Chains A and B, each alone.
Chain A
Amino acid sequence: MSRKQLDMTLLVLAVAVCFALPLVITSPTYLQILILLFFYAYLTTAWNLVGGFAGVLPLGHSVFVGIGAYTSTILSNQYGVSPWIGMLAGGVIAAFVGVLIGKPTFRMRGAYFALCTIAFAEGIRVMIENIDSIGPIKINGPRGLLIPLKGDSFWNYQFMHKEPYYYIILTMLLLVVALTWFISRSRMGYYLAAGGEEPEAAQALGINVARYKLISMAMSCFLTALAGTFYAQLMLYFYPKGLLGLDLSFEIAFIALIGGRGTIAGPVIGALALRPLNEFTRIYLGSQLPGLHLVIFGTILILVMLFQPKGLTPPLARLYDKFAARITGEGGAK
């Protein structure tokens, strides 16, 4: 067996297991945990397009989740538009807002850019919390929006069981991972990496660095908003503090940094590592000390950064290389 065949076999196997899982795990509680795991892996993969490949550190991506949720929910609740269509509208608005934020801020370095994105996200959250309605559009301030139950209906993006949500988010995750894989091997991926690492050198090689960063931001925000609609339809209720707060933005960044920023598998590995922990602390310690999970994440992040500054993916990749070399009998991979 060649290395390529081994990679493919394992990949197909892993995907097959993911698709078969609901046959074994039927408890809605556990399915929900898996759904949220995939949801976070998806969000982080989308974030990674700009936060990993383009080498900037946006810390306000919850805004785009919010744009997705609010857009599709307002359109379906008040205008009868299917959330599937509202989802695309939310994506377009999020991409537009992302470019609007990115244009003046991408010139800033490191922490300054991160702070700006936090300030912007918090600003939007506070604004939403203080708006009851814009003209005919109901925003509902801090109380958030409720989606009326309509029963099992694909058109209405509502299902009485967890399985459909599971398969939707799994498909979304697979598609977004495939997209980042494809981008990282294309000119766009090379240009983003070059512009993130040495902007001046990249510009001298014909790359309009700012433009490529904006394109990656637009894509990332578009994809993030799609997950916002998913979340709204899964929960059928959301409010600004929970959806637009920094908690979500930070958790995405934590997952990316711990999993491996700028790698394909990093967001998935990060979500696999952190989500169960998050659920555990929420269930067993959440009532006494809300926010404890972020403290634990912070501690883990410090440890990972100390020992594996590029996250968990590179050491795991090396381990896999060794394993693959033994299986295929090919002398050690590099």
Chain B
Amino acid sequence: MNILEIKDLTKHFGGLTAIHDLDLHIAKGEILGLIGPNGAGKSTLFNCVAGVFPPSVGDIRFKGESIAGKKPWDLCSLGLARTFQIVKPFGSKTVLYNVMVGAFLHTGSTSKARDKAMEVLETLQLDHRKDQLASNLTIADRKRLEIAKALATDPELLLLDEVMAGLRPTEVDDMIAIIKGLRDRGVTVFVIEHIMRAVMALSDRVVVIQFGEKIAEGKPEDVTKDENVIKAYLGSEYGAA
């Protein structure tokens, strides 16, 4: 069964077409990687899926139901959570407080939300930072916190927008393990990532977009051999990553 289905999606910003006629699906339990050069429309696609703004044309279905007219908070309640490329912690609050905000989605009880948040923090190996202010975290911990908040809402589909950007190689390895762990717990993951090593290690399938259009799709090892992809994207950046 496909947890997410996107049909003929187009998104204009004024005269700019950020996404053009895009078709895409994710099967339940899958990890789908989304790659493409900067400005290709990846984050815009996430924003459309998460209900931040409506598509100009096309239809998005989550668990078989059209998300047309649904707001971000509605979608979150339905089981769709996302992180932001530019992380958005509640900086004046502690790490635990941040994650509890997410955990309150399924409970009105403060102590239950705290338990849930602690459990998520342990999963992400962030529990030793629980009393620290979110604004004082390192980049790596901020990215983890961003995932922890989303995860605390118990999502079925998790959208991760460049959660490894700015991390050191060992931190990338940790993050890969964490994301694989999430999938093992039944979460479907849709991940935007620039670090090819991570994309290769994680993804069951990869979609490549450029100028808002899909230029390739398939198994990671096949996609990276695709000439269009190498020309558009990997040629310049593969070596660097």
Residue ranges of A at the interface with B (Cβ–Cβ < 8 Å): 185-187, 190-191, 193-194, 197-198, 200-209, 334
Chain A proximity mask over B51-83: 1 for CB below 8 Å, otherwise 0: 010000000000000000001110011000110
Question: Which stretch of B105-113, B121-129, B207-215 is in the interface?
Answer: B105-113
| Contact (Cβ within 8 A) A205 B105 | yes
Query: Once the chains are docked, how many angstroms separate the CA of A186 from the CA of B112?
Result: 11
| Contact (Cβ within 8 A) A187 B91 | no
| Contact (Cβ within 8 A) B113 A205 | no
Q: Give which listed residue, B50, B73, B92, B152, contacts A207 with CB less than 8 A.
A: B73
User: B62 → chain A, closest Cβ, in Å?
Assistant: 14
- Asked if B88 is at the interface of the complex by the 8 Å CB criterion, the answer is yes
User: B30 → chain A, closest Cβ, in Å?
Assistant: 22
Residue from A198, A205, A208 with most neighbouring chain B CB atoms (10 Å): A205
Q: B77: nearest residue on chain A (CB-CB)?
A: A206
Query: Once the chains are docked, how many angstroms separate the CA of A166 from the CA of B62?
Result: 59
Query: Once the chains are docked, how many angstroms separate the CA of A202 from the CA of B93?
Result: 13
- Asked if B8 is at the interface of the complex by the 8 Å CB criterion, the answer is no
Please name all residues of chain A whose beta carbon is closer than 8 Å to the beta carbon of B76 when the two chains form the complex: 203-206
- Chain B facing A: main interface SS: loop
| Contact (Cβ within 8 A) A198 B89 | yes
| Contact (Cβ within 8 A) B88 A203 | no
Please name all residues of chain A whose beta carbon is closer than 8 Å to the beta carbon of B171 when the two chains form the complex: none
| Contact (Cβ within 8 A) B104 A190 | yes
| Contact (Cβ within 8 A) A187 B110 | yes
Q: B83: nearest residue on chain A (CB-CB)?
A: A204
Query: Once the chains are docked, how many angstroms separate the CA of A190 from the CA of B92?
Result: 12
| Contact (Cβ within 8 A) B110 A201 | no
| Contact (Cβ within 8 A) B72 A204 | yes
Residue from B77, B81, B84, B104 with most neighbouring chain A CB atoms (10 Å): B104
- Asked if B190 is at the interface of the complex by the 8 Å CB criterion, the answer is no
| Contact (Cβ within 8 A) B113 A198 | no
Query: Once the chains are docked, how many angstroms separate the CA of A187 from the CA of B82?
Result: 21
Please name all residues of chain B whose beta carbon is closer than 8 Å to the beta carbon of A190 when the two chains form the complex: 97, 100-101, 104, 113
Q: Give which listed residue, B82, B89, B93, B107, contacts A193 with CB less than 8 A.
A: B93
Please name all residues of chain B whose beta carbon is closer than 8 Å to the beta carbon of A205 when the two chains form the complex: 73, 76, 81, 101-102, 105, 149-150, 152-153
Query: Once the chains are docked, how many angstroms separate the CA of A198 from the CA of B71?
Result: 16
- Asked if B131 is at the interface of the complex by the 8 Å CB criterion, the answer is yes
Q: Give which listed residue, A191, A194, A204, contacts B81 with CB less than 8 A.
A: A204
Q: Give which listed residue, B77, B93, B104, B149, contacts A191 with CB less than 8 A.
A: B104
| Contact (Cβ within 8 A) B82 A204 | yes
Contacts known (A187-B108, A190-B97, A205-B101); A198 close to B72, Cβ less than 8 A? no
| Contact (Cβ within 8 A) A201 B71 | no
Query: Once the chains are docked, how many angstroms separate the CA of A202 from the CA of B81?
Result: 11
| Contact (Cβ within 8 A) A197 B92 | yes
Contacts known (A190-B97, A198-B88); A206 close to B153, Cβ less than 8 A? yes
Query: Once the chains are docked, how many angstroms separate the CA of A198 from the CA of B135?
Result: 13
